[in-house]
Structure 1
Amino acid sequence: MRTKNGDSKLMLLTYLLCMALFVNLAILKDPIDKGAIYMGLMICILITVAKVLMKKFYPNGDRFLFIFSCILAVIGIAVLYRLDTSVAVKQLIWVTAGIIIYMVIILSIPDIREFGKYKWIFMGATLVLMPLALAFGSKVNGSTNWILIGGTGFQPSEFGKIALVLYLATALQNYEDKNNVIEDFKQLWEPALVVMFSIGCMVLQKDLGSALIFFGIAVTMLYVGTGKKKYVIISLVLFLAGAFIAYKLFGHVRERVQIWRDPWSDTTGQGYQIVEGMYAISSGGLFGSGLGKGYPGFVPVNTSDFIFSVICEELGIIIGLGVMIIYFLMFYRGMRSAFIIKDRFSQLNTVGFSAMIACQVLVIIGGVFAVIPLTGITLPLISYGGSSVITMFFSLAILQKISEED
């Protein structure tokens, strides 16, 4: 009963947050922007329909995972509306498509455990998606990770993350600890090669953010799948060796590292993004300058890579921390299922998709604060990006289905 009441209260707070943000955006203009209010109402209706369907057909699954994702999407669309109305409309379309995919997966797939036997299909999908942008991609913001078709584009690596998690779950579900190096090698050499191939493709595409995410997913699943710390240490050593080699061979890697080490040495050039992002965060202070009262136009790539800086500038560090807490709660709700369910394939999927969300958040926010080199990826469900939104809702749907298992 307490969980059910908490679910209802959180839904009410989500509606209040949504309407507060969009009413605020509406009154910023003279005359009042009715379009902002209509958009807020559309989002509330969309969330309500999805939540009602979930409660009707699958009442026993996780009650909070979907709501957390909706809160993030609401914040994202509202901030995008403040930055560029046309981008916010596109984002709403992508979020709607993502929620539809979410619902289709939940309502149509009877049991995720049945997919544990399709290892070769997931492996093939991974091997095809990873180098796809190298063959047919176009360079956008320095990385060759987009395939443009007409006026739209998509990132194959976003869908490759899903394929990799599903493949590793199938490859590691039957792992047995035989206390024998040769036997372990026979069980792990294939997934190790697939992971190295995937990371290598990302490095060649200059998509360092995705390379870090793939590594984080792989190491997390490897540790959970085998329970051996030595494989994590070996993976870290190999990753550091690969990073050193990449630093020596590729100029773009050296450039990113140099900017990270001292962005203030070139504030009008290569360090401009990080410096302006930091100025925006610091100018907002604890409570922000107010929605619509900041200067996000100075922040580069403010609808995707640096949208967190805009949130902190206008809504304050306190809201920025709140966003990070919601991501942590999503990670917690995902990982929580791994301690309850008994099926090995489902456990590994839970760990993989939860790690994917956590790694993506840590990589982009770490880059914005210059804790790690800037990598240029999207903030899940908040930044503008169709591929990212679809991938995230697909992953959350898998976590939701797993939470329903006995």
Structure 2
Amino acid sequence: MTTPQSPVAVTPPLPNRRNAELMLLGFAAVITTVALLLVEANQDQGLDWDLAQYTVAYLALFGGAHLAVRRFAPYADPLLLPVVALLNGLGLVLIHRLDLAEGTTTAQGLGGSADQQMLWTLVGVLGFSAVVMLLDDHRTLSRYGYVCGLTGLVLLVIPALLPRSMSEQNGAKIWIKLPGFSIQPAEFSKILLLIFFAAVLVSKRDLFTSAGKHVLGMDLPRPRDLAPLLAAWIASIGVMIFEKDLGTSLLLYASFLVLVYIATERFSWVVLGLALFAAASVVAYYVFDHVRVRVQTWRDPFADPDGAGYQMVQSLFSFATGGIFGTGLGNGQPGTVPAASTDFIIAAVGEELGLVGLAAVLMLYTIVIIRGLRTALAVRDSFGKLLAAGLAATLGIQLFIVVGGVTKLIPLTGLTTPWMSYGGSSLVANYLLLAILVRISHNARRPLESKALPAGNIAATNTEVIEKV
């Protein structure tokens, strides 16, 4: 006679929120299409079926990216891709708006810089999909930490070694100019160096946590342990001196300090890093003309409103014209700001969408940054925590530098707004950054593997699963 066995049940799969992601992508497509129609109507361009092809292309492109995430990273954060798709779509609309202001559009379709940005969007989304499909586990990147670090440094150095005709534009030697197109290697270098920083901080954590003298309530690091901080400081100073790229110099150094603080939880590293930065800033102000001009323009742009301060003055006028609710898409004059589609696209947002629209755009970036930090908290391995936190922090730092410079909070640096500004290198690099973050979020959110358990233990098993949003 056989005894009855206790009932066995398998923990039901938790929702992966891919359908929610698809719905949000559709919502992003609707907002982008309405924004484009408003620009066309307010600029008296007329509405025709040629515009529909861009909406179809937008849906097809991000629909393909969604399928890649659904198949290869089904538990990834459902907000990351839709929010970035919306930012990218709004950026395309604003670039088209600026093309209309400059008279560089064609008779049919978008034309001008917007068509080129559409092409770079295609390349960026394809790169995003490729990383999602090929990077099975983000921890694989830690094995190539030193290779990534060396490659990142080489990419930073190359523009400084090239002749000015192949690397310099607007006074900064940050380009690699090739026939037909140009590349800004520092955009890709920041990702490679973040991987290197995270890998080194995990493998050499004892080096950074060793305590030295106790001063003012802080445990200072030992002098012989300061080599990594000094190396990062020297590298950032080198970028500022030889390439005149203040933005990249500040971004890389600040990102390193953030990662060191997250890894060690010691504020003394931040204090020492900021002290070195302050000393270098004072010296650079008195030694380098381009730094002195940036600071003087920041302090009083109206001292030379038709010369060095012209760009900042026009940017401030744009924000003042926009007011609370803006002039409306297509009704402003954002083309009066030099480099409005690249460095100053936030000024175009402030003029035509106003303070409310600008706050909404900044809130979208905040969502991406917060979701990245949430991923860092949820992922189980130390390398993933540092890398996700570093990627999210880098986006936050870059956004602060860009918006702070355009609004005269800090001196201008020349960085672009992620996913919105015109520029292929920035767009592609940030899509690769997003893909790594999506991969880490998949590993953080996917349920732990477990065997079939009695029905009474299902609840206990579910407590071991990362909470779904």
- Aligned match for 1:121, one of 130, 141, 147: 147
**Alpha-carbon offset, residue 300 of structure 1:** 0.8
**Alpha-carbon offset, residue 44 of structure 1:** 2.0
Q: Quick one: distance in 2 between partners of 1:314 and 1:369?
A: 15
Length-normalised TM-score, structure 2 = 0.82
Of the two, which has the highest radius of gyration? Answer: 2
1:15 maps to what in 2? 29
Q: Quick one: distance in 1 between partners of 2:345 and 2:191?
A: 24
- Aligned match for 1:71, one of 86, 89, 95: 86
**Alpha-carbon offset, residue 233 of structure 1:** 0.2
- Aligned match for 1:208, one of 235, 246, 253: 246
**Alpha-carbon offset, residue 280 of structure 1:** 1.0
Q: Could you say if the C-alpha distance between residues 402 and 146 of structure 1 is closer, same or farther in structure 2, counting changes exceeding 3 Å?
A: same
- Tell me the amino acid that sits aligned with residue 330 of structure 1: V
Deviates more, 1:176-185 or 1:221-230: 176-185
- Note the 1:353-368 alignment, pairs <5 A: 353-368=391-406
1:44 maps to what in 2? 59
Q: Quick one: distance in 2 between partners of 1:195 and 1:130?
A: 14
Contact 1:280–1:312 (Cα < 8 Å) also in 2: yes
Runs of 4+ in 1 over 6 A off after TM superposition: none
- Deviations, residues 15-46 of structure 1 (Å, cap 9, x unaligned): 21021022223434354354333212211221
1:370 maps to what in 2? 408
1:281 maps to what in 2? 319
**Alpha-carbon offset, residue 196 of structure 1:** 2.6
Q: Could you say if the C-alpha distance between residues 30 and 180 of structure 1 is closer, same or farther in structure 2, counting changes exceeding 3 Å?
A: closer
- Note the 1:73-92 alignment, pairs <5 A: 73-84=88-99, 85-92=111-118
Percent identical residues: 32
Contact 2:72–2:132 (Cα < 8 Å) also in 1: no
1:24 maps to what in 2? 38
2:50 maps to what in 1? 35
Q: Could you say if the C-alpha distance between residues 130 and 290 of structure 1 is closer, same or farther in structure 2, counting changes exceeding 3 Å?
A: same
Aligned residues: 406
Q: Could you say if the C-alpha distance between residues 310 and 373 of structure 1 is closer, same or farther in structure 2, counting changes exceeding 3 Å?
A: same
Q: Quick one: distance in 1 between partners of 2:256 and 2:291?
A: 22
Q: Quick one: distance in 1 between partners of 2:363 and 2:404?
A: 15
- Note the 1:149-188 alignment, pairs <5 A: 149-174=178-203, 175-176=205-206, 177-180=209-212
Q: Quick one: distance in 2 between partners of 1:266 and 1:36?
A: 42
Q: Tell me, what secondary structure is at the counterpart of 1:275?
A: helix
- Tell me the amino acid that sits aligned with residue 178 of structure 2: I
Contact 2:20–2:78 (Cα < 8 Å) also in 1: no
Q: Could you say if the C-alpha distance between residues 76 and 331 of structure 1 is closer, same or farther in structure 2, counting changes exceeding 3 Å?
A: same
- Deviations, residues 117-161 of structure 1 (Å, cap 9, x unaligned): 223212211221121111115221221111211231111211111
**Alpha-carbon offset, residue 8 of structure 1:** 4.9
Q: Which has the higher helix share?
A: 1
**Alpha-carbon offset, residue 96 of structure 1:** 1.2
Q: Tell me, what secondary structure is at the counterpart of 1:273?
A: helix
Q: Tell me, what secondary structure is at the counterpart of 1:383?
A: coil
Q: Quick one: distance in 2 between partners of 1:383 and 1:36?
A: 21
Q: Tell me, what secondary structure is at the counterpart of 2:175?
A: strand
**Alpha-carbon offset, residue 388 of structure 1:** 0.4
Q: Quick one: distance in 2 between partners of 1:172 and 1:214?
A: 15
- Tell me the amino acid that sits aligned with residue 148 of structure 1: K
2:72 maps to what in 1? 57
Contact 1:26–1:35 (Cα < 8 Å) also in 2: no
**Alpha-carbon offset, residue 314 of structure 1:** 1.4
Contact 1:127–1:198 (Cα < 8 Å) also in 2: no
**Alpha-carbon offset, residue 4 of structure 1:** 6.2
- Tell me the amino acid that sits aligned with residue 274 of structure 1: M
Structure 1 gaps of 5+ residues are: none
